[in-house]
Each structure stands twice: as structure tokens, then as C-alpha cells.
A and B are shown apart, each in its own frame.
Chain A
Amino acid sequence: MADKSRERNNAGLCSDYGLDERQKAVSREIGLKSFKLIFTVTALISIAWFMVGIFFPDIEISCAYTALSYWAATVTCQCYYGIKASKYGVINSIAVFSFQTVSLFIALFMTVFALWFGVVVRLADIEMENTPLLAAISAIAAVNHYVMYFCGKRNDKVLEEQAKENEEEEQ
């Protein structure tokens, strides 16, 4: 039971479970850059929404669109972290396993949702509210999980290449 909860807790991208001190140092350096990125992007989005509110007071903007923009920014920064971390092979093995299994499944599921809301509903002229929003949310989730799947694959490949290089050097 304890092991299962530990696996759940460490299946995320930002967990440094099982990493050694060098890997943690690399992971945290990338994390710091990601934090700077998310801070900048969030600040810019906040300023943009503030400007819209000031200069176009008559426009009614759904809270959902505001939330969506922040979520897109968060996902972008998470993808940035994942891509950089996988480049150095510092994503922990439990997270890599979950990316290669669960993420692909979720990505495919979300792609179907995005296509349904973005294409089928429009073409079939089915009456539904907020279809662009739902399509956008599904598309962002799909992209996020495709990127995580790619990061898991790349992380494994990097580790394999490093192991090969080491073996050659040892010989």
C-alpha cells in the first residue's frame, strides 16, 4: 500500500525520486529556469488581460477564457521543463513509465475529444455551448500528454546512449 502511494506521488514530472545528487542538481537548475519562464509568461498574460479590461471595458470576457490562457501557459512551461529534463535524462523512472503508458492513452483520448468538439460538432451542426473552449481544453491536454510521452521516450533514449558511451569509454 505504501509502495503504491509512493509510486503515485513520484509518477509526476517534477518528482526527483530516485535521482542522485547530480541529477537533482540538473533537474533543479532546469526547474529554476522553468519557474522564471512561468513567472514571465503569467505576468505578461496578466498585463494583457488587464489592458483588455482597461481599454475595452465593454467587452465581456468569460472567466473560462481567462483560466484557459493561464492553463495554456502552465502547460507550456511544464512541457519546457519536460523537454529540457529529458534532454539530460533526469526524469525519474516511475514518471517515465507513467508517461509511456498512461500519457499516451490520455493523449489519444483527448485528441478524440478535441476532434469531436472542434470538427464533428461544427460540421454536424450539433447545438452545444462552448464548443471552442472544450475543443481548446482537449487540444491543450492532448498536446501536453503527447509531449510527456515524447519526453519519456527521449529520456530513455538519452540514458541508453549515455550507457553506450560509457561502455565504449571503459573498453
Chain B
Amino acid sequence: MCYYISNGGGKVAKNLKLKSARAAADMSQQALAEAVGVSRQTINAIEKGDYNPTLNLCTAICRALGKTLDDIFWED
């Protein structure tokens, strides 16, 4: 098990938990991006596993979705 974050910036697996949590909160990528202060492309890149967000951004995303870091960024 490992966190998606802080692994040296390499390519990581798709973050399906983020996608489903966003869908459950009925938020579009644009809405989530605006809520956490990044571009929509960045949210898309995180979901696709093209970008490792910083801890600050991870916590902001979790707050916006009402989830914990474990819920969204902990890989089983």
C-alpha cells in the first residue's frame, strides 16, 4: 500500500477514487478545480495519474469533497 503523493513525481495509477468521489459529490472537474484553485487540466491529470499532487493540493481536494486523504489517495 502506498500514497499516490510524494513518490518522486513519476507516473502513477489512475485515481479512480477521486473520480468517483467527485461524481458522488456531483461536481464537475471544472467545479472541483475552482474550489481548490487549480486548472481543470490539473484535476484531469491527477485523475488520469499523469500528475502527483502536493500534500497541500491533496488536502484541499479532500476538504472540497468532504473526504479524508485515506479515502481518496490511499491505494489498497
Contact = CB atoms under 8 A, between A and B. Distances in A.
B38 A22 contact: yes
Contacts of B49: none
Contacts, number: 36
Interface string B32-75: 00000111111011000001011011000000000000000000
A21 interface: yes
Classify the secondary structure of A's interface with B: helix
Interface residues of B, number: 16
Contacts of B37: 20
B28 interface: yes
A31 interface: no
A169 B44 contact: yes
Contacts of A162: 41, 44
Interface of B: 9, 28-29, 37-42, 44-45, 51, 53-54, 56-57
Interface of A: 20-23, 25, 89, 159, 162-163, 165-166, 169-170
